[in-house]
Amino acid sequence: MKFNVEVGPQFEGERVRKDDLYIEFGGPKVGAKVELATIKKMDEVEHGKITIIGPDIGDLAEGGSYPLGVQVEVAGPELDKDMEPVFERRIHQYCNYIEGFMHSAQRNDVWIRISKDAVKKGLTSLEEVGKVLVYLYPSELPIIEKVAVTFITDSKKVEEFLPSALTVYKERDERVKGLTEEVVDEFYGCTLCQSFAPTHVCIITPERVSLCGAVNWFDGRAASKIDPYGPQFVVEKGELLDANTTIYSKVNEVVAEKSMGASSVFCLHSVFGNPHTSCGCFESIAFYIPEVDGVGILTRDFSGESVNGSPFSTMAGELSGGKQVEGYIGMGVEYLRSPKFLKGDGGLRRVVWMPKVVKERMKDSISPEMFDKIATEEHAKNIDELTEFLNKVKHPVMSGEFS
């Protein structure tokens, strides 16, 4: 297969920086962005069909940020609905095989950057990206027999597509409800992001969705079965060494091996001690606020500064790259609903601040008592205002009674 730009795993991890940027799709400047993989019946997918709805790369003004919807439809006699999130996450991997093409984040956070060099070499159409996906899916995952790809760059059409994708994400996230770490025999790991963060390892449990938010326990299980030598794998639990922060002996062994010794202890449910590493595509950040001994939550789509004065991009720079950074973790937003959310630190009783939209989204998972005690940007824009608010509502962190 011949493409205008080179394609291969050697380009994973390649970044497209501001000075090299031709255009970007999605990302923080764009509201309408989404990607979805869907399994269809064999006769519903025309293999190799690539559809572009809206202007193409070559039609768009250099330097701009544009909306994007990507829909990958796959078919194969042995495919199962459970595999959809696995195939969806491969959009990230395969797109990053393309020279001068950087894919980050996922779902309705997706962000794609295309370099000037790539456009000069002929990457002037999304058709080429579609061809790469059509080529790679069946060759990397033989269980897939047919692939069709649709790119939507028309803002209105992306907006129309978005609600159906959000419904699918919600259904996937709800599947793991009720399943606990104690009842399952194994967890799953993912190292897909090591191309950008070489020492990063994700450990995914029924009570800890991946930090990208795109891989839950069921997805890890499906992925490890479809592609046992792929980036997602089985992780045995071993002995529970610390029930509070949640340290398992065999998880530690896997983390040490897969991080090439960079991390050897993982607390699955704490921002302190040896927290989980963060790559760069986390949906949100849990960050310790020492002045009030509480934890704040900041999401990627929150514009402006968080309560500690840092915007998302600054804070993300501090914790990304596969390091264990005490006081910070990157996390999937749905992790807030987990009964084990930061169990070692006091859980939601330790949370003092989060964006209003997140608090509303999580309303049914936060106790009524705590709901009114957690500040948002409407209550506190800085630490002084936060301290005043927490005192007023008698937040448990003010008396140290959060555990």
Strand partners, 68: 33
- Residue 109 neighbours by CB under 8 Å, 6+ apart: 26, 33, 281, 283, 300, 301
Q: Which does 68 bind (CB under 5 to 8 A by kind): ligand SF4, Zn ion, none?
A: none
Q: Among 396, 351, 165, which residue's Cα sits nearest to residue 362?
A: 351
Q: Among 318, 220, 337, 217, which residue's Cα sits nearest to residue 275?
A: 318
Q: Which is nearer to Zn ion, 72 or 193 (CB)?
A: 193
Q: Which two tokens stand for residue 66?
A: 């544009």
Q: Which is nearer to ligand SF4, 124 or 195 (CB)?
A: 195
- Residue 148 neighbours by CB under 8 Å, 6+ apart: 45, 46, 47, 48, 49, 50, 51, 72, 73, 134
Q: Which is nearer to Zn ion, 198 or 311 (CB)?
A: 198
User: Closest approach of Cβ 327 to Zn ion, in Å?
Assistant: 20
Quick one: CA dihedral 208, 280, 113, 355, positive or negative? positive
User: Closest approach of Cβ 326 to Zn ion, in Å?
Assistant: 20
202 touches ligand SF4 (CB under 6 A): yes
User: Closest approach of Cβ 54 to ligand SF4, in Å?
Assistant: 27
Site string for ligand SF4, 204-243 (x = CB under 6 A): ------xxx-xx----------------------------
CA distance 307 to 287: 11
Determine the size of the site formed for ligand SF4 (CB under 6 A): 13
279 touches Zn ion (CB under 5 A): yes
- Residue 309 neighbours by CB under 8 Å, 6+ apart: 382, 383
User: Closest approach of Cβ 275 to Zn ion, in Å?
Assistant: 16
CA distance 84 to 76: 12
**Site for Zn ion, residues 77 to 106, rule: CB under 5 A:** none
123 touches ligand SF4 (CB under 6 A): no
User: Closest approach of Cβ 382 to Zn ion, in Å?
Assistant: 30
CA distance 233 to 314: 32
Q: Which two tokens stand for residue 353?
A: 């601040």
281 touches Zn ion (CB under 5 A): yes
CA distance 255 to 203: 8
190 touches ligand SF4 (CB under 6 A): yes
CA distance 256 to 264: 4
Site string for ligand SF4, 68-97 (x = CB under 6 A): ---------------------x--------
Three-state DSSP class for residue 382: coil
Three-state DSSP class for residue 362: coil
268 touches ligand SF4 (CB under 6 A): no
- Count CA atoms closer than 13 A to 70's CA, side-chain side: 28
Radius of gyration, alpha carbons of the chain: 21
CA distance 402 to 398: 9
Sole binder of ligand SF4 in the list 16, 57, 226, 279 (CB under 6 A): 279
User: Closest approach of Cβ 62 to Zn ion, in Å?
Assistant: 28
Q: Which does 268 bind (CB under 5 to 8 A by kind): ligand SF4, Zn ion, none?
A: none
User: Closest approach of Cβ 65 to ligand SF4, in Å?
Assistant: 23
User: Closest approach of Cβ 194 to ligand SF4, in Å?
Assistant: 7
Give the binding range for ligand SF4 (CB under 6 A) out of 113-121, 140-148, 187-195, 312-320: 187-195
Interface ranges with Zn ion (CB under 5 A): 193, 279, 281
Interface ranges with ligand SF4 (CB under 6 A): 89, 190-193, 202, 210-212, 214-215, 279, 281
